[in-house]
Amino acid sequence: MTPTNWLWDLLAWLSLPLLALLAGVLVWRKRQRDYPFFFAYVFVALLAGVVRFVVYKAYSPRVYFYVFWWSDFIGVLAAFLAIYETFLRRIFPSFANVRFYRYLFPAAAAMIALLAFLTALHAPDKRTAFFVTSRVFDFVRSAVIGFFVAVILFMGRQFKGYEFSIAAGFGIQAAVALANAAIRTQTHDAATALDRFEPVAFDASCLIWLWSFAQKSKTPPSSASETLTPEALQEAKKWESKLKGFVNRGKG
């Protein structure tokens, strides 16, 4: 193994000890109770990484390919729930009190995962199906993060601390993944240099999260109970009624 390959191999698996440390810090700081979905995402990512590493060392590339993509589907679902928790439950908790918004995001994440699973299961070319569904996940993840960041800026909400670091970590991963997908589209899915940088982007995200949660928060956990103005909450409920009416008309 050349020194360059050794370095890239190290970077590819660096996230494992970082995730283990992050899980420990979350428990040490007692933040797993404040961010249960994010803690679950960290645990899922760590478990998936360990399984991948074992398969990578002990089994054929074909087996590793399927293990990698199936674990990626599970990881994406966990990531969506963590993003939901960050934006709706922490930054916009009053929107989470509106039933429609509380269930819309998890339901959308589950539907995307189910459709991707069915697509990959029945596609004649499994490698292409896995790749395409993964890129769809990356696009949807980027769109969701971009939407909520725009809403934060528009409404003048505070965006800092743990919430900012979580969103920044997911944003870095999504940006690199989307850039790689765009390049692969031009090269007809041929391998690109950015393939190596996707694990590096994940390492960077883990470092951001580890550094952030290792710090003592200046904002008490109860900050999530901040509410929107009555006008904003009334507007959210108005949109809920309009959407329900639209769905009911469609059924009729």
**What's 66's domain CATH number?**
1.20.1070
Residue type, 130: F
Rounded-to-10 torsion of CA 94, 97, 100, 106: 90
Does 95 map to a domain?
A: yes
Gap between the Cα atoms of 111 and 105, Å rounded: 10
* Burial of 38 per CB tally in 10 Å (0-12, 13-18, 19+): buried
Does 237 map to a domain?
A: no
Instruction: Looking at the chain, list the stretches that DSSP marks H as alpha helix, in order from N- to C-terminal side.
Output: 3-13, 15-28, 36-58, 61-84, 93-96, 99-122, 126-155, 161-186, 194-214, 230-251
pLDDT score of 127: 67
Does 5 map to a domain?
A: no
Longest dimension (CA), the chain: 65
Does 79 map to a domain?
A: yes
pLDDT score of 140: 73
Gap between the Cα atoms of 110 and 162, Å rounded: 25
Gap between the Cα atoms of 93 and 96, Å rounded: 5
Gap between the Cα atoms of 48 and 72, Å rounded: 8
**Structural domains of the chain, count:** 1
Residues contacting 217, CB < 8 A, separation 6+: 29, 161, 162
pLDDT score of 80: 84
Tell whether the torsion through CA atoms of 18, 224, 148 and 44 is positive or negative: positive
Does 103 map to a domain?
A: yes
Does 97 map to a domain?
A: yes
Host domain of residue 146: 12-215
Report angle CA 49, 120, 136 to the nearest 5 degrees: 75
Considering only CA atoms, which of 137, 89, 135 is closest in space to residue 109? 137
- Output the six-digit token pair for 175: 């940006």
Q: How far apart are the first and last CA of the chain?
A: 65
pLDDT score of 50: 95
pLDDT score of 217: 65
Does 124 map to a domain?
A: yes
Does 7 map to a domain?
A: no
How confident is the chain (252 residues) per 10-residue block, as mean pLDDT?
70 93 94 93 95 92 86 85 84 66 68 66 65 71 74 67 89 84 70 77 94 76 46 54 51 46
